Copies of this chain bind each other. A is one copy, B any other.
Amino acid sequence: MGTVNEDLRRERDKCTFDITELTTLFDGGKDKMLERKEREELMVSKREFEQGVCEDLLSHKGKYEECMRKSIITFGHIRQMQREGKIKITDYKDVLDCLLGSGNTRDGSPLALHYMMFMPAILSLATTEQQEYWLSKAWDCKIIGSYAQTELGHGTFIRGLETIATYDATTKEFVLHSPTITSYKWWPGGIGHTANYSIVVAQLYTKGECHGIHWFMVQVRDEETHETLPGIKLGDIGPKMGLQPVNNGFLGFEHVRIPRSHMLMKHAQVLEDGTYVKSSNQKLLYAAMVFVRVLILSDMVNHLSKAVTIATRYSAVRRQTPVIKGGPELQILDYATHQHKLFINIASTYAIRIVANKQWEIYYKVNDEVANGNCTRLAELHALACCLKAVGTSDAASGVERMRRACGGQGYLQSSYLPQLGAFTAAACTYEGDNTVLLLQTARFLVKTWQQIDSSSLTPTVSYMKPASAARYLDRWENSVEGIIHGLQVVAVKKIAGCVTVMEKRVQSGMALEDAWNMTSVQLEAAAEAHCRVILVTFFFEGISEWLAKASPPLRHVLQLLLELYAVYWALEKMVDLMKYTCISGDDAEALQSRYEQLLSSLRPHAVPLVDALGIRDELLQSTLGAYDGQVYERLMQEALKSPLNEDRVNQTFHKYLKPFMKGKL
């Protein structure tokens, strides 16, 4: 392609700030940026990668097989970097974040879960001895693991899982069994044909008593032949909306025996004689689930970054309709309705990056505290990870879909890569906890916090609740970012308090507490989202403030616009709540709408530079619409011509079906 599209070039020529300066902030410092670039260069440099047919054109089986070929190249690189000490086992989240998240495969990988769940689960659930044994094998990819929790009949309610692990003290083994069709494990990535081991979640029975769910290491295939082991039933669960080659599978057991040492016993143990030793803190068992939820928010940054890069660049290239009859056609990017779709998602990308970083900080801090026996912030971390996973994935999914539609028909083409990004983010709304269920878990924490607000000290992320409920917050309004944050805080507190009142009324009128909770749950979900909006805007505000301290003046100006746009957008979206619970006036609201429209105009010149600064290489972006040079029409045609359907001038179905039909013979 070579030459850059004229419109795109002009956008960049007008750029007012140093793009690398922003990329450095986004990546978390110069070292991290260089590290990322070095890794990406290594990944992309392998030419063999480009052989073969584009996965999009293949069958369900073909997609898996082509993806295996590519995944092995990718993971070979990762292992190489591990061996060279460039990736350490204690901090490989950067790899998960970048290399796997923006990986080289087009539609996910059957090996991803090995890194994203199998190893983290070993780290959080296995004893030191077990870790030494399993982690060294897993880390070096001598074995490939999956994580089997969800069953055909149970996903959300994990206490209801049906798979059974019964301890047999005579042989010192556990017997794993799937008593019903609904007890089959269903969805684990890579379990169909890739993994030879899996961590399996099952109800532990010993001495005739059930002790609830526990975690077991189970070998499912022979290490040499890859044949399934006796009593193991597994396979692929078939085509999906996206993530086709991930090889999500089913897994059932017919009285499969594993050694006692294969139960992961960091927290609870079964002794040789079958005696059950309870975990000191049940909550610690769910640590791996919290890790993945924290990870998911980072992953959303990757997807949203790509979507806004694609949509923004294409909008600079695409011209449609003159504003003045007979005049030149406008760049789509100049339409306010289009800016309305794009810019909030550019802002969201930066916001979620910053919020995800802050969540990692909290995650590591709390983990350290827990390691030292201090569990005071565990419930808070859980509530935070729940709502940020829910709102983060849901914002990303709707954002990506909005970007896809903003690209018109071309966004519907797989060569644009937007459908795949849509399918990734849509999946994230469901996996690792359905978003509604997660928000209700946060709501439960918030209700409890509210009910004890006068008697207990508040942990940091809910500390706003006390001042925000005080009267002095309610009788003033200010159209500024801080003013909006105050307003959103008041809204969150009032909504939680309102739910408590409604539930109390319902209980007083004779309803059971559980039913009152259920009937109020639409409002409870909304209250948890309101709390999460406070977190998002506040963390973004704090994070941008830190960036501002480091940034040069031209960049500072753009960052301020971005933050303000984000805050004003959410104020307008939540205006009904602000009107209900704060003293915002009709004039304030109109001024915000008008300010919003001005912000769109002000951000317009910075749109392309802002997505360029996300620093996504064309090879990882994989999009006909989003490449740096903006040669979209040439690429669209080039990709179309690769379709095997275009190899035959006349398709065989003409002779078999179409011609006889047109001639009236069929």
Tell me the A residues contacting B by CB distance below 8 Å: 56-62, 64-65, 68-69, 71-72, 75-76, 140-144, 150, 152-157, 160, 181-182, 184, 186-187, 192-194, 223, 225-228, 235-242, 247, 250, 320-321, 323-324, 329, 334-338, 340-341, 401, 404-405, 408-409, 411-415, 419, 422, 426-427, 429-431, 434-436, 440, 512, 514-515, 518-523, 525, 575-576, 579-580, 586, 589, 593, 596-597, 600-601, 633-634, 636-637, 639-646, 648-654, 656-659, 661-662, 664, 666
Query: Are B405 and A515 neighbours in the complex by a CB distance under 8 Å?
Result: no
A-B contact pairs, 6 of them (CB 8 A): A141-B662, A155-B409, A184-B637, A225-B650, A241-B422, A405-B434
- What are the nearest 9 A-B pairs in CB distance? A241-B419, A576-B576, A68-B653, A157-B321, A59-B59, A72-B657, A56-B239, A235-B646, A239-B414
Query: Are A633 and B181 neighbours in the complex by a CB distance under 8 Å?
Result: yes
Chain A interface, >50% SS class: helix
Measured between alpha carbons, how far is A426 from B407 in the docked complex, in Å? Answer: 13
Measured between alpha carbons, how far is A69 from B666 in the docked complex, in Å? Answer: 11
Measured between alpha carbons, how far is A654 from B61 in the docked complex, in Å? Answer: 14
| Nearest B residue to A160, CB-CB | B329
Partner pick for A597 among B519, B579, B640, CB 8 A cutoff: B519
Query: Are A639 and B238 neighbours in the complex by a CB distance under 8 Å?
Result: yes
Measured between alpha carbons, how far is A379 from B193 in the docked complex, in Å? Answer: 59
Partner pick for A240 among B157, B334, B419, CB 8 A cutoff: B419
**What residues of chain B lie closer than 8 Å to A589, measured between beta carbons?**
580
Measured between alpha carbons, how far is A417 from B586 in the docked complex, in Å? Answer: 46
In the assembled complex, the CB of A654 is this many whole angstroms from the nearest CB of chain B, namely 4
**What residues of chain B lie closer than 8 Å to A57, measured between beta carbons?**
59-61, 238-239
Measured between alpha carbons, how far is A578 from B255 in the docked complex, in Å? Answer: 62
Measured between alpha carbons, how far is A48 from B309 in the docked complex, in Å? Answer: 47
**What residues of chain B lie closer than 8 Å to A68, measured between beta carbons?**
651, 653, 656-658
Measured between alpha carbons, how far is A521 from B600 in the docked complex, in Å? Answer: 12
**What residues of chain B lie closer than 8 Å to A521, measured between beta carbons?**
335-337
Known contacts A56-B239, A321-B157, A640-B236: A411-B430 contact under CB 8 Å: yes
Query: Are B75 and A250 neighbours in the complex by a CB distance under 8 Å?
Result: no
**What residues of chain B lie closer than 8 Å to A323, measured between beta carbons?**
514-515, 518
Partner pick for A241 among B225, B236, B414, B519, CB 8 A cutoff: B414
Measured between alpha carbons, how far is A656 from B52 in the docked complex, in Å? Answer: 15
| Nearest B residue to A657, CB-CB | B72
| Nearest B residue to A411, CB-CB | B430
Partner pick for A651 among B64, B334, B436, CB 8 A cutoff: B64
Query: Are B419 and A193 neighbours in the complex by a CB distance under 8 Å?
Result: no
Among the interface residues A239, A419, A430, which one has the most CB atoms of the partner chain B within 10 A?
A239
In the assembled complex, the CB of A94 is this many whole angstroms from the nearest CB of chain B, namely 22
Known contacts A156-B321, A405-B430: A69-B653 contact under CB 8 Å: yes
| Nearest B residue to A435, CB-CB | B405
Query: Are A662 and B414 neighbours in the complex by a CB distance under 8 Å?
Result: no
Query: Are B436 and A337 neighbours in the complex by a CB distance under 8 Å?
Result: yes
Partner pick for A429 among B75, B405, B600, CB 8 A cutoff: B405
Known contacts A143-B662, A152-B633: A652-B238 contact under CB 8 Å: no
| Nearest B residue to A593, CB-CB | B523
**What residues of chain B lie closer than 8 Å to A661, measured between beta carbons?**
72, 75-76, 141
Query: Are A62 and B61 neighbours in the complex by a CB distance under 8 Å?
Result: no
Query: Are A72 and B658 neighbours in the complex by a CB distance under 8 Å?
Result: yes
Measured between alpha carbons, how far is A523 from B236 in the docked complex, in Å? Answer: 49
Measured between alpha carbons, how far is A580 from B65 in the docked complex, in Å? Answer: 58
Query: Are A430 and B413 neighbours in the complex by a CB distance under 8 Å?
Result: no
Measured between alpha carbons, how far is A430 from B402 in the docked complex, in Å? Answer: 11
Query: Are A408 and B430 neighbours in the complex by a CB distance under 8 Å?
Result: yes
In the assembled complex, the CB of A581 is this many whole angstroms from the nearest CB of chain B, namely 10
In the assembled complex, the CB of A604 is this many whole angstroms from the nearest CB of chain B, namely 11
Measured between alpha carbons, how far is A185 from B370 in the docked complex, in Å? Answer: 62
Measured between alpha carbons, how far is A410 from B228 in the docked complex, in Å? Answer: 25
Query: Are B519 and A601 neighbours in the complex by a CB distance under 8 Å?
Result: yes
Partner pick for A586 among B62, B156, B580, B646, CB 8 A cutoff: B580
Known contacts A226-B658, A238-B413, A601-B519: A321-B430 contact under CB 8 Å: no
Query: Are B143 and A666 neighbours in the complex by a CB distance under 8 Å?
Result: no
Query: Are A662 and B142 neighbours in the complex by a CB distance under 8 Å?
Result: yes
Q: Apart from A64-B651, A239-B413, what 20 extra A-B contacts exist at CB < 8 Å?
A: A56-B239, A57-B238, A60-B643, A64-B653, A68-B653, A72-B658, A142-B662, A156-B321, A193-B650, A193-B651, A228-B649, A235-B640, A235-B645, A238-B414, A241-B419, A250-B640, A405-B434, A411-B430, A523-B593, A580-B589
| Nearest B residue to A221, CB-CB | B650
In the assembled complex, the CB of A301 is this many whole angstroms from the nearest CB of chain B, namely 22
Measured between alpha carbons, how far is A71 from B518 in the docked complex, in Å? Answer: 47
Among the interface residues A596, A652, A661, which one has the most CB atoms of the partner chain B within 10 A?
A661
Query: Are A241 and B666 neighbours in the complex by a CB distance under 8 Å?
Result: no
**What residues of chain B lie closer than 8 Å to A512, measured between beta carbons?**
324
Known contacts A141-B662, A152-B636, A586-B580: A643-B235 contact under CB 8 Å: yes
Measured between alpha carbons, how far is A419 from B521 in the docked complex, in Å? Answer: 27
Partner pick for A522 among B154, B336, B419, B656, CB 8 A cutoff: B336
Query: Are A597 and B522 neighbours in the complex by a CB distance under 8 Å?
Result: yes
**What residues of chain B lie closer than 8 Å to A336, measured between beta carbons?**
518-522
Among the interface residues A75, A228, A341, A650, which one has the most CB atoms of the partner chain B within 10 A?
A650
